[in-house]
């Protein structure tokens, strides 16, 4: 029904910035809530950011003021702009799409972000 592929992960120094992208195989943003999750080494997966089908945006407290989620409907892309990165942001970042009725729940393979000096 839909496939997701993340990109943009890299090794950056503390205080640096990265922009992650999630490209969907078709345009789903009118019916989907789009999420970014991350999983740090040895930790459980945690929710990071949401952009809902009605354009509502939400963030976990640890990234508020530093991360921004957005989407480009023409490019079928959801992005996560990450500024002032901290070592604790190190994780594999995953894109997730959920139909607002539960019709689908799809994950990308992830992209690795490493924040280290």
What is the residue-wise DSSP string for 18-46?
Answer: EEEEEEESS--TTTEEEEEEEE-TTS--E
β-strands 67-72, 77-82 pairing = antiparallel
pLDDT at 84: 98
Quick: pLDDT tens for 18-69. 999 999 998 888 889 999 999 999 999 999 999 999 999 999 999 999 999 9
pLDDT at 5: 97
pLDDT at 43: 96
The Cα 106–Cα 90 span in angstroms is 23
């Amino acid at each position: 029904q839909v496939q997701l592929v993340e990109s943009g992960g890299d090794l950056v120094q503390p205080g640096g910035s990265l922009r992650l992208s999630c490209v969907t195989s078709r345009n789903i943003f009118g019916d989907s809530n789009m999420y970014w999750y991350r999983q740090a080494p040895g930790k459980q997966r945690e929710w990071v950011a949401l952009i809902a089908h009605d354009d509502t945006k939400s963030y976990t407290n640890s990234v508020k003021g530093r991360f921004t989620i957005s989407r480009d409907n023409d490019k079928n892309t959801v992005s996560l702009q990450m500024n002032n990165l901290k070592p604790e942001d190190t994780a594999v970042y995953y894109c997730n799409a959920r139909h607002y009725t539960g019709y689908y729940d799809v994950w990308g393979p992830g992209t690795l972000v490493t924040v280290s000096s």
